Structure 1
């Protein structure tokens, strides 16, 4: 007879965990594992990363979930490898090979590569892949694809802010195309790899994908699940960034005690602030994030607020996590 499973005692946890998502994990798998390790009550991620992809996956806990949409909208940077000369059913290495093409030297000249790089930089149009989570009549496209059904998809405009293409080869001497891409939300890197392969005349599919930055949060600041598992609870909490880590592009505004209390009650405040669509509002005593808003004609208007309880819990957790953070810095 199996022993009963120990019930995890959940607790309020607030902040952002920059996770280096491992290969083979879905974004939700990674989220649930981190949530369990932190014993967090409330958690969410900031947009899915394919199981075949690794890299930056910001996970939001507690009050930070109120600002997760900001990361969904942020520009993202990826490193990717396209295996040239073969297309697959899924656009990546998981699919079955559809077509193979002999690659000639003329297809991969520096001039040809530079022209294609320019062609796919800036605003481009993409047809979303069938193997994606986009919905059609309430069903994800990948469900239709697995049933062998092709669904018509409208092309969508996305922005490729920067693109660098270089050539290499695998152990068998087969040509590979290395891509570093900074792009807008909604960009499918698998589709980009397929389209570039088609433009080169030889086709291709994605064999490697790693997200190295999202909204200014880089992979060098990430922690792995294996590292989290090896830590004690205080060290895990010390890995959390404060919720305002998601607000780096917001104009910071600090309010005195009286104005802070009224702002937290949802009241507008008057001041000499310039007009700004995105403002991060802080209290002065004690220093704490209150929420976000916007300013118009000298008026600070609340948009999304933390609760007084959330603010109190964040301040208390900072005190508890400080000793563990100093230990992590020394190690």
Structure 2
């Protein structure tokens, strides 16, 4: 067993390179319908106006691979980093979606909308306060968002209650009562103030499930002036950065732009003989004796991701075991 140090790199990772088995290997389950043998993580710079599902559909058409998903929805208005998962790597979604995320947001004061963003209908307006243009006041107000809290999700969201989708109910004129959710704001940095448009430019780092639209709404409530989210760009998700991303125009050959899955996951890598996990078997605890209990680790061989296991007091238990590669 060998523990590998994981540190982010900013270069394309080729899952079919020599370091990740020989290039003649493909995924063994490629005989399934819609399976091409491709497997990868593709950071995409989503343009405004497209839904996350639109991007997934585009990648499906470009590759012919039916198993394509994403790790963390972006609203149509938003731009920036959307992590696309291809082939068997769609099974990594829970681990990538749970990552901390960073955004650059523009929060406009003076009006609130039913969706809490610029795409909604204005439902309330209010007079602006001179303090809104003061950087010290803005920074102090933003500091009140820091730390863990309970957030009330926007009425227009994809949350389901009893099988009913919130945004559909809201559009039908019967908004759902949405329970508050635990979130955490790790940082809220004022980047600047647009005096002409009474807007703050803010960089946020937040936990999974945080609605930036709701933070904009809540900031308006804090200062006593209606507010909404005017623009949003995701700049990071876990270890991945917007600098890693490709545009849809650039990603014609996406296999050259996949990133290293172990680096993307941000997990400690444990190198083992692939035969030891061929049947999804548990591994002896001393395979990763230096790692604390209840920790997820990436199981690798010669640089290729084989599985995700979790340490327990007695063993390493399989969480996700990827299909083996086989010669083409």
Q: Normalising to structure 1: TM-score of the pair?
A: 0.82
What is the CA distance between 1:10 and its match in structure 2? 6.0
- Runs of 5+ consecutive residues of structure 1 not aligned to the other structure: 1-8, 317-331
Matched, 1:102 2:116: no
User: Where does residue 46 of structure 2 map in the other structure?
Assistant: 21
User: Where does residue 137 of structure 2 map in the other structure?
Assistant: 112
Shift of the 152–303 alpha-carbon distance from structure 1 to 2, 3 Å rule, reads closer
The answer on whether the counterparts of 1:87 and 1:204 sit within 8 Å (CA) in structure 2 is yes
Shift of the 89–295 alpha-carbon distance from structure 1 to 2, 3 Å rule, reads closer
Matched, 1:300 2:325: no
Residue deviations 1:10-63 (CA, integer Å, cap 9, x gap)? 622100111001110010110110121122131111121100001111111112
2:124 & 2:66 partners in 1: Cα distance?
A: 48
Residue deviations 1:167-186 (CA, integer Å, cap 9, x gap)? 4227xx22111111100111
The answer on whether the counterparts of 2:239 and 2:263 sit within 8 Å (CA) in structure 1 is no
2:176 & 2:318 partners in 1: Cα distance?
A: 43
What is the CA distance between 1:297 and its match in structure 2? 4.3
Matched, 1:151 2:176: yes
SS in 1 for 2:205: strand
What is the CA distance between 1:147 and its match in structure 2? 1.2
Matched, 1:89 2:110: no
Residue deviations 1:263-320 (CA, integer Å, cap 9, x gap)? 222223333522341111112xx54322111233463332211122xx337xx7xxxx
What is the CA distance between 1:225 and its match in structure 2? 0.7
Shift of the 41–148 alpha-carbon distance from structure 1 to 2, 3 Å rule, reads closer
Q: Which has the higher contact order (CA 8 A, sep 6+)?
A: 2
Matched, 1:125 2:159: no
Residue deviations 1:71-90 (CA, integer Å, cap 9, x gap)? 11111000010111111121
1:146 & 1:296 partners in 2: Cα distance?
A: 47
Residue deviations 1:67-125 (CA, integer Å, cap 9, x gap)? 11111111100001011111112111111212222212134434432331121111122
Q: Normalising to structure 2: TM-score of the pair?
A: 0.83
Matched, 1:244 2:258: no
Residue deviations 1:119-177 (CA, integer Å, cap 9, x gap)? 1111122111111011122111111111112322222221001111244227xx22111
Of 85-94 and 151-160, the range deviating more from structure 2 = 151-160
Shift of the 94–279 alpha-carbon distance from structure 1 to 2, 3 Å rule, reads same
1:110 & 1:210 partners in 2: Cα distance?
A: 22
1:198 & 1:187 partners in 2: Cα distance?
A: 17
Among 222, 230, 237, the residue aligned to 1:199: 222
Among 191, 207, 229, the residue aligned to 1:184: 207
The answer on whether the counterparts of 1:18 and 1:221 sit within 8 Å (CA) in structure 2 is yes
Superposition RMSD in Å: 2.1
Larger of the two Rg values belongs to structure: 1
- Runs of 5+ consecutive residues of structure 2 not aligned to the other structure: 1-33
User: Where does residue 225 of structure 1 map in the other structure?
Assistant: 248
The answer on whether the counterparts of 1:67 and 1:246 sit within 8 Å (CA) in structure 2 is no
Higher helix share: 1
1:268 & 1:90 partners in 2: Cα distance?
A: 47
SS in 2 for 1:225: coil
Shift of the 207–287 alpha-carbon distance from structure 1 to 2, 3 Å rule, reads closer
Matched, 1:44 2:69: yes
User: Where does residue 37 of structure 2 map in the other structure?
Assistant: 12
